[in-house]
Structure 1
Amino acid sequence: MAIEWRESIDGVDWAALSEMYRRAPLGDKSADWLRTAFTNSLFKCFAFEDGRVIAAGRAVADGVDCSYLCDIAVDPDHQGRGLGRAIIEKLVERSRGHRKIILYSVPGREPFYAKFGFRRMRTAMAVFEDPERAARGGYIDEG
């Protein structure tokens, strides 16, 4: 089937997108949470097949300094088709002109992102809503 690429949130079935993130598995993100997050992101990218969203990603960006790629997910039934790669390429291209393009990876997936030129940062730090969960997931050191 042909993939339809969209950069607009028009016509997105947020409940279906929420289910895709759960299955990917990128966590439980409610339909309302996703609608808010994508609406407030400067760049969005969706892949549709037969009218159903099968991959998505977004970038929170300010237009000059920093673009942060996040929530990149591909439906498990469609993984291995290059959709994740295409989303990253599209978001990186839209983010060109920013001084830095940042993402943080699911632990263990860093080599995939390195193929796009992403390099490990030595000074990146974060405040997590649930630091114990972030530590268990391998995102931060315990402590």
Structure 2
Amino acid sequence: MIRYRVRETVEFAALTELVRAAWGGQEDGSSWPGILARSLTWVCAYEGPTLIGFVNVAWDGGRHAFLLDTTVHPDHQRRGIGVRLVEEAAASARAGGAHWLHVDFEPHLAGFYARCGFGPTAAGLLRLG
């Protein structure tokens, strides 16, 4: 059984391992405390005691929230966990006062975010680094 926890304490080491498993790279976990301290909300998915999914919602302090880091462990993908994470995040953002939830994604994720209820929109991106 998968349990979803909204804005509860998360072990940063477990979150770092999840991100490494899903995205690769050398994430060291040092940025998570600062990121979550400024977030509107986040949602974690657990199977037993194991963190298997995560999504973060950043915001502007007003009406606009931004979905970031939607992550499901590769061993648990394609089971609806990601969609449920996004649904829980959207409900929590709405309850927190957000009126809009934005998400940026790569083209191969368009179907996933459409299943989550996101519609297409024109947007711009300026690479700063």
- State TM-score, norm by structure 2: 0.83
Question: Identity of paired residues, percent?
Answer: 28
Q: Structure 1: any 5+ residue segments left out of the alignment? A: 130-143
Amino acid at match of 1:76: P
Query: How many pairs are equivalent?
Result: 127
Amino acid at match of 2:84: A
SS in 1 for 2:33: helix
Q: Deviations over 1:2-58 (max 9, x none)?
A: 222212342x22122112112112654321112321232111100112212110001
Q: Determine the C-alpha separation between the residues in 1 that align with 2:128 and 2:17.
A: 23
Q: Determine the C-alpha separation between the residues in 1 that align with 2:26 and 2:90.
A: 25
Q: Determine the C-alpha separation between the residues in 2 that align with 1:13 and 1:95.
A: 22
Amino acid at match of 2:105: S
Structure ranking higher in strand proportion: 2
Which structure carries more relative contact order (alpha carbon 8 Å, separation 6+)?
A: 2
Q: Determine the C-alpha separation between the residues in 2 that align with 1:26 and 1:107.
A: 19
Q: Structure 2: any 5+ residue segments left out of the alignment? A: none
SS in 1 for 2:53: strand
Cα distance change on mapping 1:89 and 1:72 into 2, 3 Å: same
Q: RMSD value over aligned CA atoms? A: 2.0
